Structure 1
Amino acid sequence: MAKPDQNSVLRQLPFIVGGLGGTLLLINRLLTPQLTESQARSDALGVILSAILILTGLLWQQVQPRSPDAVDLIGEEGLELTPELPEAVKTELAWASHLLLTNTVTRSLVVFYQGRVLLRRGILGVNPEVKPGAILKRVLDQQKPIYLVDMKLYPGRIEFDYLPENTQGLICQPLGNQGALILGANAPRSYTKQDERWIEGLADKLGNTLSRYLEPTRSIES
């Protein structure tokens, strides 16, 4: 269910106050039997102030950013970690995934490395298996991240059936040429540039750890 925009009242406040002030000035003018010069000047000043408030409200509607609509992802919260991994790798995966889930808008994540899923955490999708589609293959081949800012705009989203079905935004961050860190968010356009840089740095560290402890394989191309 979409969360309400907590700043909507603040953005509309100047518009409402300006409109109310202009209405009261008009009523006061209509009920005044004889208009004095001082009242005329006060009315003129009031009209100007009301117009400024209304204009400010209209500008705020355009300028102030709106919080993206967030949803509750469909699925059960959990943690699935490949049991035969070295303890150092398990610790690194647990640490990195915890940071991502608590410090970014990420609500679901998958670590795919050397053709298998090492970790699923957060809100889990129904499908536990990852079959690389066109988008993930491109990330693996080019070793460059892909950010799908609003999943409903991309037909290729169907390949990410291992994430919750109503995932709103997604980042595929390469882990060298052996795998990828796949992050799902519960709101579109919710990752900032700072988030992307931070995720890239974390993925570099995680990829370095995986490459040291897991036997290397050829680049995944199929």
Structure 2
Amino acid sequence: LTGLIWQQVQPRSPDTVELIGEEGFVLAADLPEAVKTELAWASHLLLTNTVTRSLVVFYQGKVLLRRGILGTKSEVVPGVILKQVLEKQKPIYLVVLTVYPGRLEFDYLPENTQGVICQPIGNQGALILAANAPRSYTKQDENWIAGIADKLAVTLST
């Protein structure tokens, strides 16, 4: 028992996969320059500082940004999960996407996405983040994502 106490136990990190899709960065053409800059900044931070490998900004019924590994579909049709996020303005974290029947609504993300966070952007939209490993977002990541979504809400509402 003493030997076990002295050992430092490291939790096993989740198995990652290579997401299927092409690397890309697509912004809606009709956005003001300041909004484009803000979306580019926010998406860059999320892709480089969290386990996010793909993200979509859905606001007022249209896609403003797709970045990272892109899925084959570019259109977002809100399903049950996204509608719930928009209505209740509470984030939903699907830790292992493959076990949720509602995963089919995320057909605009890479087909082998392992985890998804739908984070509300004010009461008008959502930031949809895809990870390449299940159970990979930490509480700190979730707080960071919420803060960036709040900042985007202010920018997009002006």
User: Is TM-score (shorter-chain normalized) higher than 0.5?
Assistant: yes
For 2:78, the equivalent position in structure 1 comes to 132
Q: Paired residue for 1:102, among 44, 48, 60?
A: 48
Q: Classify the secondary structure of the residue corresponding to 1:171.
A: strand
Distance (Å, rounded) in 2 between the aligned partners of 1:180 and 1:174: 4
For 1:141, the equivalent position in structure 2 comes to 87
The structure richer in helix per residue is 1
Report the RMSD for the aligned CA atoms in angstroms. Answer: 1.5
Distance (Å, rounded) in 2 between the aligned partners of 1:176 and 1:95: 18
The code of the aligned residue for 2:29 comes to: P
Q: Paired residue for 2:149, among 198, 203, 221?
A: 203
Moved over 2 A (4+): none
Higher-Rg structure is 1
Q: Deviation at 1:52?
A: 6.0
Q: Which structure has more RCO (C-alpha within 8 Å, separation ≥ 6)? A: 2
Q: Paired residue for 1:71, among 6, 17, 23?
A: 17
Distance (Å, rounded) in 2 between the aligned partners of 1:112 and 1:76: 20
1:115 aligns with 2:93: no
Identity score, percent: 76
Distance (Å, rounded) in 2 between the aligned partners of 1:64 and 1:153: 26
Q: Paired residue for 1:82, among 24, 28, 40?
A: 28
**How many residue pairs were aligned?**
157
Q: Which runs of 5+ in 1 are unaligned?
A: 1-50, 213-222
Q: Paired residue for 2:99, among 127, 145, 153?
A: 153
- After TM superposition, the score normalised by the length of structure 1 is 0.68
Distance (Å, rounded) in 1 between the aligned partners of 2:2 and 2:143: 40
Q: Deviation at 1:64?
A: 3.2
Q: Paired residue for 2:126, among 169, 180, 198?
A: 180
The structure richer in strand per residue is 2
